Structure 1
Amino acid sequence: MSSPLLTRPGAVPAGGPDEGVAAHYGDPVAEQRALERGIGVTDLSHLGVAAVTGPDRLTWLHSLASQQLADLAPLVPTEMLLLDPQGHVQHAAAVLDDGTTTWLVTERDGVGPLVAFLDSMRFMLRVEVREADELAVLGTHGDGPGLRLPDGEEPLRWLDPWPRVADSSTAYGPTTGHPGEQRSAAWWLVPRDRLEAVVDAATAAGARLAGVWAWEALRVAAWRPRLAREVDERTLPHELDWLRTAVHLTKGCYRGQETVAKLFNLGKPPRRLVALHIDGSDHLIPEVGAAVMAGEREVGRLTSVARHHDLGPIGLAVVKRSLDPTLELVVDGVAAAQETIVSPDGVGTGRPDPIDRAGLRRRP
């Protein structure tokens, strides 16, 4: 489904997981700066929204997801992962409950499978799950612009918790000086048939449309993982430092919990997310999916890439955890310098101290 905002002057369609909205409206750099200044509005109406209703909705989602949801207060934003039995990421969603409905926002291609999975797990509980096609998503940064519906009411707003380390969680990356601390992103849920009216009111008040290239550049600079980019069939949340906002380490059982807990308490993730500063001297940047090379050895894959207005070409890549963080890398023939996100030691904050077995004796 293509957005009606693709008819706006200068709109250039995006591709890949962002197909259906604008990559930019003629000036990606100015659009990034508008977002950072809090006057940009990004059309994210290609994202999928699911609605969960019924009196059992929160306790039911709590039993399935990685996040503490049983006592989630109205309008408190959080996010959740749904894992397979081996702890690999299958679904990821922003979560916002309004007191009667729990809204889940995920990737366009992920909302159908998410709803199908949840529907298969309802059993006899008092819950209903559906795709909420009537809602679209808009994105802003900072304190504004404050979006309003034609009747003056404020739409539902999900504030991205990234990169704050939630209670009963852990960080595999930095706990201070994280670049994501400079990013304050929000998703607004607006009726799809009022999408243009909401944007028109915002632009009339001084806002500027910003394409998904600008949105993605700020996401990549904040080291924020995305389901459609950083996740493959082997992804463990530890590898992306995703436990900090999406996983509650002391809640009750859920599918994949054993792997999450065992890896946190005893193990190390096999891979890790790194930031790449890519050589832009030839004005070429590699494609997502390109192999990351250390000499003649392939050590990972490029998962996201963007042109940042200040940092230049940047990317995210998932590489082998044991990779020397000082090595210069090459991606599709272009040099790239690493910046550590997930520590190569593979240990999260708050990990229990190992048991001292020095004084233990074997049974004769």
Structure 2
Amino acid sequence: MGDAQAVFADVAGAVLDDGALTHLGAPLREQRLLAEGRAVAPLGDRTVLTVDGADRLTWLDSLTSQALAALAPGESTELLVLDPHGHVEYAASVVDDGERTWLIVDRAAAAGLLAWLTRMRFRLRVDPQDAGATHAVVGGTAAAVADLPALALWTDPWPGVSAGGWGYAAAETHAAVGRDWSEVVVPAETLATLAARAAERPLAGTLAAEALRVAAWRPRAVTEADGRTLPHEVDWMRTAVHLAKGCYRGQETVAKVHNLGHPPRRLVLLHLDGSDALLPAPGDEVRAGENAVGTVTSAARHYEDGPIALALVRRGVPADAALQVVTGDGAVSATAQAIVPADAGATANVPRLPRLGRRASA
């Protein structure tokens, strides 16, 4: 995929990093055009896996957090691969065309996910493959990508609550209400066409796409999953977990935390002091006074909201706590907007039992 993105090197203002088009000289303007449906974003940080075979949907259903056995052709959803303790290992956007399942994944995690899927085939009729050399991913509003030669179209279900899911963030005040975002799988040569037409059809880089994602509170495995992230902590229960499906690895933890406990951390949006040029990096420490209370997972400069970041903080951090983010160049003041509330989880109505030894009156 990195080689395919090289076609953008000669586009005016284009900056590529690690094989991906990151921006074209004006990231804030690119965000606005992308949000308004007047630009598309070639997503060089995303790639494609495919799964062929008659057993593909029931197989993926048995391995992952999502109910996929009855997935209709063209229906968009997403899945998580969890470890035995319920921590997120991989995530994928999923759409099936009736003959093949398309998985859109973070490029950095694609090889690991493919290797794991390959090990889990056993004797089933499934064939997972890396399609990144011949396919590309382009993002934008539904209207903006409608004329692209799509082999698969994935419409982001976020922030809706999918069947079997559960939303922790309040629906009526969710930052992504009305969000319009799709990702299409296209032949790799489509990127050359987009590069050649960049003067008439604006492009946006991955910085713009990421800023819109952060502002929408949208988790992503390559950033928000740090090896111990539970789906509950980042509100991924709403679109990537089906609470009533059959068994899968990590299900016991998912059910226990949701029904009886609380996730130990919770995702917040940080509004950062914009008075200077400091922008946190993933991994930077979040402090309340002298105490470390969390970690930045993603950060961006938004064209309307200014500098913002997603962070995972301890569940008990007070909503009105004065926070600072410690960067390599100094501290940045921040105020937190709750995404996952402190009381998330413990949804089961467990009846109170009488004390042992108490007897009913005769």
Are residue 241 (structure 1) and residue 244 (structure 2) matched? no
Partner of 2:107: 108
Instruction: Indicate the SS of the match to 1:301.
Output: strand
The structure 2 residue matched to 1:209, chosen from 188, 196, 203, is 203
Instruction: Indicate the SS of the match to 2:140.
Output: strand
Are residue 139 (structure 1) and residue 165 (structure 2) matched? no
Partner of 1:52: 51
Instruction: Indicate the SS of the match to 2:41.
Output: strand
The structure 1 residue matched to 2:344, chosen from 340, 343, 346, is 346
Partner of 2:245: 251
- What are the superposed Cα offsets for residues 109-154 of structure 1, whole Å, 9 maximum, x if unpaired? 21111111111111111111111121110111253242333xxxx4
Change (3 A) 1:199 1:165: farther
Instruction: Indicate the SS of the match to 1:208.
Output: coil
- Provide structure 2 residue ranges, at least 5 long, that are not aligned to the other structure: none
Are residue 232 (structure 1) and residue 226 (structure 2) matched? yes
Distance in 2 (CA, whole Å) between partners of 1:7 and 1:76 is 37
Conserved 8 A contact 1:5-1:21: no
Are residue 173 (structure 1) and residue 169 (structure 2) matched? yes
Change (3 A) 1:236 1:257: same
Conserved 8 A contact 1:321-1:346: no
Superposed displacement of residue 287, structure 1? 2.0
Bigger mean CA offset, 191-200 vs 255-264: 191-200
Instruction: Indicate the SS of the match to 2:32.
Output: helix
Q: Which amino acid aligns with 2:183?
A: W
Alignment TM-score, normalising by the size of structure 1: 0.92
Are residue 267 (structure 1) and residue 261 (structure 2) matched? yes
Instruction: Indicate the SS of the match to 1:117.
Output: helix
Are residue 193 (structure 1) and residue 181 (structure 2) matched? no
Q: Which amino acid aligns with 1:347?
A: G
- Provide structure 1 residue ranges, at least 5 long, that are not aligned to the other structure: none
The structure 1 residue matched to 2:9, chosen from 6, 10, 13, is 6
- What are the superposed Cα offsets for residues 28-68 of structure 1, whole Å, 9 maximum, x if unpaired? 11111101110111111331211100000000100001001
Distance in 2 (CA, whole Å) between partners of 1:338 and 1:46 is 28
Bigger mean CA offset, 221-230 vs 39-48: 39-48
Bigger mean CA offset, 314-323 vs 169-178: 169-178
Q: CA RMSD in A?
A: 1.6
Runs of 4+ in 1 over 6 A off after TM superposition: none
- What are the superposed Cα offsets for residues 68-121 of structure 1, whole Å, 9 maximum, x if unpaired? 100000010100001011101011000011111101111112111111111111
Partner of 1:93: 92
Partner of 1:73: 72
Conserved 8 A contact 1:65-1:81: yes
Are residue 286 (structure 1) and residue 284 (structure 2) matched? no
